[in-house]
Amino acid sequence: MSDMTASETRPGDSRFFQRSGPFGLEQLAEASSGEVVASASGKSVAAFRGVAPLHVAGPDEVSFLDNRRYLPLLAETKAGAVILSPAFSDKLPPDTAGLVCKAPYLAWARVATLFHPDPKSTGIRHPTACVADDAEIGENVEIGPFAVIGSGVRIGRDTILASHVSIGQSVEIGSRCRIGAHAAISHARIGDRVTLYPGVRIGQDGFGFAVGPEGFETVPQLGLVVLEDGVEVGANSTIDRGSMRDTLIGAGTRIDNLVQIGHNARLGRCCIVVSQAGISGSTELGDFVTIAAQAGLIGHIKIGSKARIGAQCGVMSDVDAGADVIGSPAMPFREFFRNVATLRKLSRKSSD
């Protein structure tokens, strides 16, 4: 029980996470683009060995503060250094140095990555993997147990394929990609530094059929899925290939777990699609669009750049660039909450 308690309070369990370091304060400042504020007591740590939350961090660990509500924890922390904004730099305990940044959470991400980098490819091909003779496998590609790689596949250098991955005929995968266990990819071109988490399905038939006198007849889906550089797709999410044109996911886009994206959809750069959202076929998103959890978008609509779609939103028409919408059918935030307030007033009057 004591081991379990320790693992719950201190991150980066070495049984599960690769560890790097130690690093000096100046190295951390360089990684975080932060300004070093020396501890008031003059004490300094020569080498930091990891990251931890404020309430458990020790003198050789780095923590961070990005919310005023946690100031009491800052006052009591034993961390050797804390990443924080200029507004909180005067609240540091005497024995704690500061890494002062305008974007503490971003700096924290970079420092945590410094201590716990993504695993590198071992370059090992497991003997149970089935790789087609004409597949082109780049340098230092790791292929896990029972992976299947079809004819004509091309995989770039330093990519990792976990166990039971299935790569269909002629699929192209770039360099430094990570493909999680049991992911299945067909009819796709994938860029560099793409991450697909376990159970992802890329390139299956889109949901297309015609109605005939004797029932439904499937329409051939003749497009591909294109994932540009830096895309991440969460566990058990699915992206259908296009019917006549490609389904496109723009560079840097992050897709959460359990998301469905239909055929011919086109997402711009750096979009966010949160868990259980569904995007119907031929819908187009601009750059930096956010789709919150359980939102549903019908097909053949356009969502402008930097628009934000609220949770459980039902979007049935185009959304202007920069707009914030919520509700079903979707409407601007202010209108939605004004309608809610009106309904409450009417309800109170009727009950009186």
What pLDDT does residue 7 have? Answer: 46
Q: What is the mean pLDDT of residues 227-239?
A: 98
Q: Give the pLDDT mean for 254-260.
A: 98
Catalytic residues: 263
What does the pLDDT read at residue 6? 47
Q: How many CB atoms lie within 10 A of CB 190?
A: 27
Report the alpha-carbon distance of residue 250 to residue 287 in Å, rounded. Answer: 8
pLDDT of 41 reads 87
E strand or H helix that includes residue 75: helix 71-76
pLDDT at 293: 98
Whole-angstrom Cα distance, residue 157 to residue 49? Answer: 31
What is the Cα–Cα distance from 74 to 66, expressed in whole angstroms?
11
Q: Which has the closest alpha carbon to 251: 233, 235, 236, 271?
A: 271
Residue range 11-60, pLDDT digits in tens: 888 889 999 999 999 999 999 999 999 998 888 888 999 999 999 999 99
Please report the pLDDT score of residue 8 as a whole number.
Answer: 52
Round to the nearest angstrom and report the end-to-end CA distance of the chain: 57
In the block, residue with structure tokens 């790789």: 131
Is 314's pLDDT higher than 50? yes
Q: How confident is the model at residue 352 (pLDDT cuts 50, 70, 90)?
A: low
Q: Tokens in use for 299?
A: 């097909």
Structure tokens at 280: 């119907």
Numbered ranges of CATH 2.160.10.10 in the chain: 183-334
| pLDDT at residue 9, as a whole number | 64
**238-249 mean pLDDT:** 97
At 1, is the pLDDT very low, low, confident or very high (cuts 50, 70, 90)?
very low
What does the chain come to in residues? 352
Q: What is the helix (H) or strand (E) element at residue 346, kind and residue range?
A: helix 333-351
What are the Cα distances from residue 19, in Å, to 15, 80, 113, 164? 10, 18, 9, 26
pLDDT in tens, 143-166: 999 999 999 999 999 999 999 999
pLDDT digits (tens, 9 = 90+) for 59-113: 999 999 999 999 999 999 999 999 999 999 999 999 999 999 999 999 999 999 9
183-334 is a CATH 2.160.10.10 domain:
yes
Q: Spell out the long-range contacts of 239-243 with Cβ–Cβ below 8 A and sequence spacing 24 or more.
A: 239/201, 239/202, 239/203, 240/203, 240/204, 240/205, 240/206, 240/207, 240/265, 240/281, 241/186, 241/187, 241/188, 241/203, 241/204, 241/205, 241/206, 242/206, 243/206, 243/208, 243/219, 243/281
Give the largest CA-CA distance in the chain: 85
**Contact (Cβ atoms closer than 8 angstroms) between residue 197 and residue 233:** yes
H helix or E strand, kind and range, residue 9: helix 2-9
Instruction: Indicate whether 215 pLDDT > 60.
Output: yes
Percent of the residues in the chain that have a pLDDT greater than 90, as a whole number: 87
The more confidently predicted of residues 314 and 9 is 314
Condensed to tens digits (0 to 9), the pLDDT of residues 115-131 reads 999 999 999 999 999 99
Query: What whole-number percentage of the chain has pLDDT above 70?
Result: 97
Q: With the CA atoms of 162, 166, 171 and 172 taken in that order, what torsion angle do they form, in degrees rounded to the nearest 10? A: 0
Look at residue 341 in the predicted model and tell me its pLDDT.
86
**Residues forming CATH 3.40.1390.10 domain(s) in the chain:** 2-115
What distance in Å separates the CA atoms of residue 246 and residue 189, rounded to the nearest whole number?
10
pLDDT digits (tens, 9 = 90+) for 176-205: 999 999 999 999 999 999 999 999 999 999
Question: Which residue has tokens 């496109």?
Answer: 248
Contact predicate 232/251, CB 8 Å: no
- For residue 91, what are its two tokens? 């609240």
| CATH (residue range 2-115) | 3.40.1390.10
Given a cut of 70, is residue 3 above it in pLDDT? no
Residue-level pLDDT at 2: 47
pLDDT beyond 90 at 351: no
CA pair distance 252, 179, nearest whole angstrom: 16
pLDDT of residue 44: 85
